[in-house]
Chains A and B, each alone.
Chain A
């Protein structure tokens, strides 16, 4: 388990494999040892990961921090008394509050969306980001400017200064309202965008898409018609490229007419409700979205 033992195992493995070149039985042993070595290597990797986690904070607290941030953002008034990792349960009510505003304007901008569906260079007037970057990198640049990673991540600063400053502003606001949400949070930085406060984004997006989703309730087995889409958005909230089915839905849709219909209904919902109203300064958190459309709760209505 320990690193040293693993190294020993690897050495043994090397010898075994050399022996294996001479004799087949030894080759077999070598193979077995190789496998053992690989497993050992896995453990090693894992242990290493955990070590890192221990240095800063356990994994779970990270998420709690997430929620705390979100809470502060919305319900500024409540915040003061709470400590850093505040595990606030008032999450649901916030959800609802968030829901309302975005609902208001799904449609007017459809016209704009339309042209953008095709891969074209001249997209958003929005940010000073270099336009060429946007279409291709969106999918891949997931290690994007995570909001919490503000301090380090120098590349990203160059990437988009506005974003960072916006984030800084937000932080200040948060801190002002709840003076205790401080340093401990920062220790979490290495973890990536999804560890940040995303529940409000999820709720916002969900409430926007629900307006446009016509679920397949009349189909014979609606419970089997759960479809999953991978969606990339542009900073202005419009659809960056045609959403793709992911997971099992992809193969299901190819040979089942009901799944295909369900998938198409979901895709129509994605397009119809675009552009999505999401906080631009947190684009890194919502540029890449996995959407699951699950009609089960709608059955029987």
Chain B
């Protein structure tokens, strides 16, 4: 009889399973959304002027990303007096904040600055993140950028890019006698520093993976050559001693190689130099112009531009130069390929219909999208999270050029504040 009991239970379970759908919930598939910045409240941090400064930079960072909208402090109902007690979430829902950041800046006995912050989910009524940073007081901007990065990462799921730097060409003077200097600045345009004095032309600077070294092309010795600039020591060195011009350098993802173009009797080809052994390895040998090489983030492939097929197009090959194949088929001329740090896309400059625009495509050339709409937009560079791009924009009628950023989706196009005119930006990796 016990068996019957089991059987009965089994039958009952099965019955229940069959009957269950009859009482299932109402199913709703939401497939369309409303892409808009997330409203976030970031009151000044506790801690006087320093606290306000830090919060100001965090707000500016998040606003600039286009994914957040910081709320006006005047609308705040509650004043944060202690970041270690939960806020009254009602007070923040009233002003439609979906997240709240509370923080404090504390001068420590040893003279260091400590900044604590908490990120609150206003509707979920819980803390999403709470962190503390300490540094020397001069570094307060970096702390603010790191806080912004952490908030960005917690909310979007991917790493931020605010604690990064941009190396670029700062331009000044009249068009006929342009002075171009190598310069670096923070991602938000703060702390610009000129690295060269402008007495010679510099072009195409690129960071190495630790953001301590810059490879660039310079006419310092009278002839165009690729140089390295060590940011810590300020030391410059010419990379290899080649008889002809070298240009368009870029580091490999491990930082051990620089890939660049060597010109010889009108033919440009791509070479890789091992920085430890200084051994040079030729990667392309086509009679056409091959240049603009960029490694994939895993270092196994290189994208480059070539006119071997008649017009300038983007090609890819293995890192040893084998398996060359064209990947851009979207029309027009396509150049300056840059592999995304995520590895999923390649950004490039498209020349078509009399305009230069920035585009992105998958690494096999599919899914091409043009994401800027200027008259002359060129030379894309990726944020370390592969989510945002910077590029050089030259306005029609050419009054110099400026640096712009745009989301990989094509949204949130905005000018990056730089001293004077700027061009040829290259984004650093996240600073360690």
Q: How many angstroms between the C-alpha atoms of A210 and B34 in the bound complex?
A: 6
- Given contacts A192-B23, A300-B369, is CB(A42)–CB(B34) below 8 Å? no
Please count how many residues in chain A sit with their CB below 8 Å of the partner chain's CB atoms: 75
Residues of B within 8 A of A272 (CB): 96, 98, 123
**Smallest Cβ distance from B154 to chain A, in angstroms?**
8
Task: Find out whether the CB atom of A214 lies under 8 angstroms from the CB atom of B34.
Answer: yes
Chain A, 124-155, CB within 8 A of any chain B CB? 142-143
- Given contacts A45-B18, A210-B30, A219-B158, is CB(A257)–CB(B153) below 8 Å? yes
Task: Find out whether the CB atom of B33 lies under 8 angstroms from the CB atom of A214.
Answer: yes
Q: How many angstroms between the C-alpha atoms of A45 and B16 in the bound complex?
A: 10
Q: How many angstroms between the C-alpha atoms of A260 and B153 in the bound complex?
A: 11
What is the interface of chain A mostly: helix, strand, loop, or mixed?
helix
Q: Mark A212-246, 1 if CB is under 8 A from B, else 0.
A: 11111111100000000010000000000010000
Does A187 interact with chain B (Cβ within 8 Å)? Answer: no
Does B156 interact with chain A (Cβ within 8 Å)? Answer: yes
- Given contacts A45-B15, A114-B90, A193-B23, is CB(A261)–CB(B155) below 8 Å? yes
Residues of B within 8 A of A293 (CB): 30, 33
Task: Find out whether the CB atom of A214 lies under 8 angstroms from the CB atom of B7.
Answer: no
Task: Find out whether the CB atom of A290 lies under 8 angstroms from the CB atom of B27.
Answer: yes
- Given contacts A213-B33, A215-B35, A219-B156, is CB(A17)–CB(B23) below 8 Å? no
Closest to A219 in B: B157
Does A206 interact with chain B (Cβ within 8 Å)? Answer: yes
Task: Find out whether the CB atom of A49 lies under 8 angstroms from the CB atom of B24.
Answer: no
Task: Find out whether the CB atom of B30 lies under 8 angstroms from the CB atom of A291.
Answer: yes
Task: Find out whether the CB atom of B156 lies under 8 angstroms from the CB atom of A110.
Answer: no
Residues of B within 8 A of A285 (CB): 26
Residues of A within 8 A of B90 (CB): 111, 114-115
Does A157 interact with chain B (Cβ within 8 Å)? Answer: no
7 closest Cβ contacts across the A-B interface?
A: A261-B157, A215-B33, A258-B157, A271-B123, A142-B23, A213-B33, A288-B25
Given contacts A142-B23, A261-B157, 9 further A-B contacts (CB under 8 A): A42-B14, A202-B28, A206-B28, A212-B34, A258-B157, A264-B121, A267-B124, A272-B98, A300-B369
Q: Which B residues are within 8 Å of any A CB, using their own CB?
A: 3-4, 6-7, 10-11, 14-15, 18, 22-36, 38, 67, 89-90, 93-94, 96, 98, 121, 123-125, 128, 153-158, 342, 344, 367, 369, 386-387, 407-409
18 sampled A-B residue pairs with Cβ under 8 A: A38-B10, A41-B14, A42-B11, A111-B90, A111-B93, A202-B26, A202-B27, A218-B387, A218-B408, A219-B157, A220-B344, A257-B158, A264-B121, A268-B123, A286-B26, A290-B24, A293-B30, A300-B409
Q: Which A residues are within 8 Å of any B CB, using their own CB?
A: 10, 13-14, 17, 34, 37-38, 41-42, 44-46, 49, 107, 110-111, 113-115, 117, 142-143, 191-195, 198, 201-202, 205-206, 209-220, 230, 242, 256-262, 264, 266-269, 271-272, 285-286, 288-298, 300-301
